[in-house]
Copies of this chain bind each other. A is one copy, B any other.
Amino acid sequence: MADNILIRRAKESDVPEMLALVRELAEFEKAPEAVTVTLAEFAEAGFGDRPVWQAFVAECPENDALVGMALYYIRYSTWKGKMLYLEDIIINQAFRAQGIGNRLMGCLEQEARDLKLKGMCWQVLDWNEPAISFYRKFPDTQFSGEWINVVRSLS
């Protein structure tokens, strides 16, 4: 277990390293070209006048680097009510299987409880078995593969 890893809320100066983690995940998800957001847009969306995301990060003090993150926002389900939407949870390859993901998930659960949300939700690629196995460990968790994502770009 990486007891030295510090979990804390993200601050604006973390954004460059967070974008690097996002790119790392996009590579793994076979879509590196899909990351088109700029550093400035990413920072503004989290720390501008009307923030739309928040995050917890995992920091390795020895080398002063971020090794993981969990980025989320509050969404509204017309069926359930307010929910925490986990957009991305990412742990750097070299720091996997050390309990960092569990600690980040614990912070998200506590945040959802503090905000009196109905639950947490997220998405996983159907071929990402390691992630699906990780998520199956959590109680009261349901998987549904019958929804299609639709994205309309505006230019």
Residues of chain A touching chain B, judged by Cβ–Cβ distance below 8 Å, are: 22, 26, 31, 34-38, 41-42, 45-46, 52-53, 71, 73-83, 85, 87-88, 109, 112-113, 117-127, 132, 135, 138-155
Choose among B38, B85, B118, B151 the residue that contacts A144 (Cβ–Cβ < 8 A): B151
B154 and A109 within 8 A (CB): yes
Which residues from chain B contact A26 at a C-beta distance below 8 Å? 79
Assembly CA distance A147 to B145 (angstroms): 7
The 9 closest A-B pairs by CB, nearest first: A53-B76, A37-B81, A119-B153, A141-B152, A123-B147, A22-B78, A144-B149, A121-B151, A140-B153
Given A52-B76, A79-B37, A144 contacting B154 (CB threshold 8 A): no
Given A78-B22, A85-B75, A112-B154, A123 contacting B138 (CB threshold 8 A): no
B75 and A75 within 8 A (CB): yes
Which of A42, A46, A79, A117 has the most CB atoms of chain B within a 10 A radius of its CB? A79
